Amino acid sequence: MKYLVLFLFSFSLLMAGNARAQTGSDELKKRVARYNEELDQLNREYEETANNKKSTLKQLNNLKQQIEIRESKINSINSELRVLDNQITESNTTVHNLQNQLDQLKKQYAAMILFAYHNRNSYNKLMFIFAAKDFNHGYKRMKYLQEFAGYRQRQAEYIEGTEKELHVKINELDNTKKEKSNILVDQIKEKVTLGKQKKDEAKVIADLSKQQGQLKEQQRDLQRKIARTNQEIRDAIRREIAAERKRAEDAAKANNAANAGSSKNNSAKTITGKSTDREVLTNTPEGARISDNFLENKGHLTWPVSNGIPIRWPGVYTIEGIRTETDAVEIKTNADAPVRSVFEGKVAMVRNVYGTLLVVIVHGEYFTSYSNLKSATVSAGQKVTAKQMIGTVATDPASGESSVQFAIYKGSNTVNPKQWLQPE
């Protein structure tokens, strides 16, 4: 029984460990598959520009993205290899322990068979029973013989089933080792490709260095556009808050005048100059509802484009010596791709910023912005629904890239869109 308990405990640990390892391995496989899709798309785009004898900023950006994704893929492959190594080590150890325990069980079973052989005839069994000192003792001896026979049968079936299970586990380990071998081949291939792409990147950078003055001017233009976009968004938010505050204050004054001299209790919110931006933006039932629903969907908001790759998250970047700070995530997508609202709301502003359009939508206390649009299909004051098309993506003539910049604000404060959008 001692070995039986040890076997069951070890087997349960093996199953739990395998389940955890399988879950981690599945997540890594999904991540690697996503990287492969992104790399295929970037590679197709790069091939389109590679025939151009003159290196372009689009080629450089494409190579940088491929190198970044490929390095992430290699890191994921390394993580998957570590998971497989741990799984193989743990499984081998457990199988070895189980095999030792099975050997002990077989020895015990052999001893039981030997005992049964010595007591194989009915006469010996009867003598064993009648040799008891009293009836109760004799009854216990009889029950012992019955239980012993049943236990021996169960042990035989249990040993046979366990050997089959161990055989299955050994096959699984063999498959895991083959999988590891295939992944190692993929890892070597990715490292070779990464080395080649870094050489290509160095060559493109060398070619582009001859155009350094032109590139810096392009980056300065981009910096000015981003700064102007950020300012336009904040101005739109301030105007929206101010307009809503005035509307609420006027409504409160009119309501107070209408109820003057009346004993009726007015439960409506009163907005004053001291009211917070949140109180102002959620003072109506609709504003409060949309704001609460927007918050409840944190981490589940739809992306502003149906097909795209995030290539730059909010933060400070230095390119060609030009420092640029952005509040938005930049999502690379197809030329003229439809851009959609991530949630229901009201369009606060549509504005032309250095040749492309900016759309700002208010969702109660929250705001979303969509910049670098070629066209807009909505206008200020219009109500929109989640996933409703609001315009199309513009293509940068200098780099040849099509991307949309998307940002989220709580009042006038920026929040990280990565925490709000659905996982990639």
DSSP character string of 264-311: ----S----TT--HHHHHTSSHHHHHHHHHHHHTTTTBPPSSSSEEEE
Residues 6+ apart with CB under 8 A from 202: none
Report if residue 300 sits inside a domain. Answer: yes
Q: How far is CA 81 from the centre of its chain?
A: 20
Quote the pLDDT of residue 3: 46
What is the C-alpha to C-alpha distance for residues 169 and 161, in angstroms, rounded to an integer? 13
**Does 180 share its domain with 72?**
yes
Quote the pLDDT of residue 24: 60
Residues of the chain with pLDDT under 50: 1-5, 7-8, 53-54, 122-123, 263, 265-268
Q: Which domain holds residue 221?
A: 216-259+268-419
Report if residue 331 sits inside a domain. Answer: yes
Report if residue 424 sits inside a domain. Answer: no
C-alpha pair distances (Å), 134 with each of 138, 140, 142, 145, 147: 6, 10, 12, 17, 20
Quote the pLDDT of residue 403: 92
Report if residue 359 sits inside a domain. Answer: yes
Nearest CA-CA partner of 44 in 334, 337, 372, 405: 334
Which single residue is written with the structure tokens 């970044």?
A: 68
Quote the pLDDT of residue 127: 55
What is the C-alpha to C-alpha distance for residues 31 and 72, in angstroms, rounded to an integer? 9
**Does 198 share its domain with 222?**
no
In the chain, how many domains are there?
Answer: 2
Residues 6+ apart with CB under 8 A from 200: 63
Tell me which DSSP letter residue 404 carries. E
pTM over 0.85: no
Report if residue 330 sits inside a domain. Answer: yes
**Does 246 share its domain with 171?**
no
Residues 6+ apart with CB under 8 A from 275: 245, 248, 283
* Assigned token pair, 241: 């808050």
Report if residue 89 sits inside a domain. Answer: yes
Angle at which helices 212-258 and 135-209 cross, to 10°: 120
Quote the pLDDT of residue 270: 72
**Does 161 share its domain with 50?**
yes
**Does 281 share its domain with 400?**
yes
What CATH number corresponds to the domain at position 358?
2.70.70.10
The answer to whether 244 and 276 are in contact (CB under 8 A) is no
**Does 160 share its domain with 105?**
yes
**Does 307 share its domain with 402?**
yes
**Does 194 share its domain with 291?**
no
Report if residue 19 sits inside a domain. Answer: yes
Residues 6+ apart with CB under 8 A from 326: 226, 230, 312, 314, 315, 317, 405
The answer to whether 112 and 152 are in contact (CB under 8 A) is yes
What is the C-alpha to C-alpha distance for residues 30 and 186, in angstroms, rounded to an integer? 15
Please provide the DSSP assignment of 18-74 as one string: HHHHHHHHHHHHHHHHHHHHHHHHHHHHHHHHHT-SS--HHHHHHHHHHHHHHHHHH
**Does 204 share its domain with 220?**
no
**Does 244 share its domain with 224?**
yes
What is the C-alpha to C-alpha distance for residues 384 and 341, in angstroms, rounded to an integer? 7
Nearest CA-CA partner of 186 in 5, 29, 401: 29
